[in-house]
A = this chain, B = another copy of it.
Amino acid sequence: MRIALAQLDPVVGAFTANVEKIRDSYTKACKAGARVLMTPELSVCGYPPHDLVERPEMFVGNEKAIAELLPLTAGKSCALIVGHIITNPNPLGRKAQNVVSVLQGGKVVFRQAKTLLPTYDVFDEARYFEPATEVKLWDCDGTKIALAICEDLWAQDSAYGRRLYGKDPVDEYRKQGAQLVLSLSASPYVWGKSQKREKLHREVAQKLGVPLIYLNQFGATDEILFDGESFASDASGKLLGRLPHFRKDFAVFDTEKLSWIEGDVSKDSAPVNELEVLADGLLTGIRDYFHHTGFKSAVLGLSGGIDSAVVGALAVKALGAENVLGVGMPSQFSSPHSLEDAEEQARRMGIRFRVRPIKFLYSTASRELTEGFGQLADLALENLQSRLRGMTLMTWANHLGSLVLTTGNKSELATGYCTIYGDMVGALAPLGDLYKTQVYELARYINQAWGNPIPERSISRPPSAELRPNQKDQDTLPPYDKLDPLLRDYIEEGASVDDLIRRHAGNKDSKWVVETLEKVERNEFKRRQAPPVLKISHKAFGIGRRVPIAKSWLGTAKRDT
C-alpha cells in the first residue's frame, strides 16, 4: 500500500489557505498512485488554535473546509486523512473534539477522536477537547489501520518523571489487531527531541510488530516551532528514513516494499546536526511570525555584541537582507569598539545600518527628569538609557511599518538582567529561550555554515550592557558557564533548591545559588510583559510556564525594577 505524507504548515484559522495546501498534496498523492494521503493534526484549522476553539467561526470554518474537500475524493482511489475540529456529539463535556477523518468517495468513511489530550507546558487540550470515548481501527482494503493523533502514541513517555495517562491507545491497537499505524501530529520542536520522538515511535512499532508512519507539520505559530522530520519505521522498530526539518515536503512510502517512492528522504538514520536544526527553527519562527502577521521588515538594535549579531543573521536569512534595518545607538558608556563592531556586523550581513546616538537625548531626558529630585538613582538612569533605545527602535519601526526584533537571551530573561520597555521591546524574541552559552554555540555554527556573517570580535569580547562606564555582565551575574547550568537545572529540570546547592555549590558558597534563584522568581513581572519567545527547550518562558508574580517564594517580597 502506498501512503503519501504531506509535511505541510497549516496556519491557525487560515481555512482557505490550508484547504488549498491539502488539495495540492491530494493531487500529487493521486498522481503517485497513493492509497492514502496523511495530513498533520488539525491540518484544516491549524495548531494550536488556543481559545479560538471556542469561537463559533471555528466550527463553521472546519465544517466548510471538510465540505470543500469531500468532492475532491469522489471517484478517486486515494483516501484523504485530514485533522480538524468537530462539535462533540455528546451534549455532556467539552464542546469540541480534536479528530482525524478519512475522506473517500466523497464521504467521511472513518473518524477517530484524540484519546490523550496533552495538558502541560504549552498544551491546554483538556481545556478545549473532549477525549475519544472509544478507539477503533480503520479497515482499508482489508488492512486494519490505527489512526493516532500525536499524543495518542506518547502514553509511554515519562518526560515529566511519571506516566501521565491511565490508558494507552496502543493497547487497543494490539487487541484489535492493527496491521499499520499512522500518526498524524503537530509536535513542537525542542532541542534534541526528534531522536527521542523517533525512539518512542519505533518502540510502538516494535511492540505491535507492525510498520508505523509518523507525519509532523512544520512551521510556527507564535512561539511554537514545528520541525516536521516525519519518518517511517518497520515492524522491528528500525528507522527507514526521515523527511527534512523545517521544510515542506511531499513523500510516498510503500508499506509492502518498506521503501520510499518519492520525497526528500534522508536514508541516514543518524541524527542531523542539532545546531543546524536549531538555526533553521529560529529562522522559521521569525519568517512565519512576520508572514502570518502581515509584516515584511524588521528593525533591530545592533550593539556590536553577540546577541544582536545572531538575531541579525537569523533575520537576514528569514526576511532577506533588504528587509532588515540595523540601528546603532551608542552612548557615552559605549566602548570605542562597539559602534565599529556593529557597523562591521551590518556590512557583513549586507543590511542597512543607521546610527542614532542616544547621548543627547539621554542628557536631555535625565536632566529634565532629575529636576526636583537632586540626583536620580543609578538604576533609574541605567534603565532610562535602555528605554531611550527601545523608544528609538519602536519609533522607527512604527514609521517604517516594521517589527522590532528583541535580541535578549534566556539567561537575561531568567535573572532580570534586562530592562522592561527598554531592551525588552519588540514583537518577537528569537533568542529568548537560548542561554547565553547556547547563543555562543549558535554563533559559531552560523559563522561556519553561513559564511561568517558574525565578526569574530562580537564573539570574543566580554559581554556588556554598557549602561555604566566599563560595565561587564559579570559585574552583576556569575560567569555564564556557571550561571546557565544552574538556570537550566532550575527552570527546565525543576530540581529542588537543596539539590541545586549540592550540584552547583558543593554545599559551600551556596549564596550565589540562592541569590540567583531569588532573582529568577523576583523578575517574573518582567517576563509577564516580554514578547513571545521562540521555544526551543522543554520549558521556555511564556505560555508554557505559568508562575504567579505576587507570591512568597524564595525571597520574592523584594523585587528588581
Q: Is the CB of A294 within 8 A of B52?
A: no
| B interface footprint on A383-401 (CB within 8 Å = 1, 0 otherwise) | 1100110111011111101
Task: Determine whether A120 belongs to the interface, using a CB cutoff of 8 Å to chain B.
Answer: yes
Task: Determine whether A222 belongs to the interface, using a CB cutoff of 8 Å to chain B.
Answer: yes
What B residues does A356 contact at CB under 8 A? 368-369, 371
Cα distance A164–B384 in the bound complex, in angstroms: 50
Task: Determine whether A261 belongs to the interface, using a CB cutoff of 8 Å to chain B.
Answer: no
What B residues does A95 contact at CB under 8 A? 160-162
Q: Looking at the complex, which one of B93, B427, B494, B557 makes contact with A55 (CB distance below 8 Å)?
A: B494
What B residues does A51 contact at CB under 8 A? 545-547
Q: Looking at the complex, which one of B14, B93, B373 makes contact with A399 (CB distance below 8 Å)?
A: B373
Q: Looking at the complex, which one of B368, B380, B383, B497 makes contact with A360 (CB distance below 8 Å)?
A: B368
Q: Which B residue sits closest to A47, measured CB to CB?
A: B548
| Chain B min CB distance to A369 (Å) | 5
Task: Determine whether A421 belongs to the interface, using a CB cutoff of 8 Å to chain B.
Answer: yes
| B interface footprint on A539-558 (CB within 8 Å = 1, 0 otherwise) | 00001011111111100111
Known A126-B119, A361-B365; contact A551-B392, beta-carbon cutoff 8 A: no
Interface size of A in residues (CB-CB distance below 8 Å): 104
Task: Determine whether A525 belongs to the interface, using a CB cutoff of 8 Å to chain B.
Answer: yes
Cα distance A54–B492 in the bound complex, in angstroms: 11
Task: Determine whether A289 belongs to the interface, using a CB cutoff of 8 Å to chain B.
Answer: yes
Task: Determine whether A561 belongs to the interface, using a CB cutoff of 8 Å to chain B.
Answer: yes
Task: Determine whether A293 belongs to the interface, using a CB cutoff of 8 Å to chain B.
Answer: yes
| B interface footprint on A55-95 (CB within 8 Å = 1, 0 otherwise) | 11100100000000000000000000000000000011111
Known A91-B162, A528-B531; contact A551-B292, beta-carbon cutoff 8 A: yes
A:1-46 near B, CB below 8 Å: 11-15, 17, 46
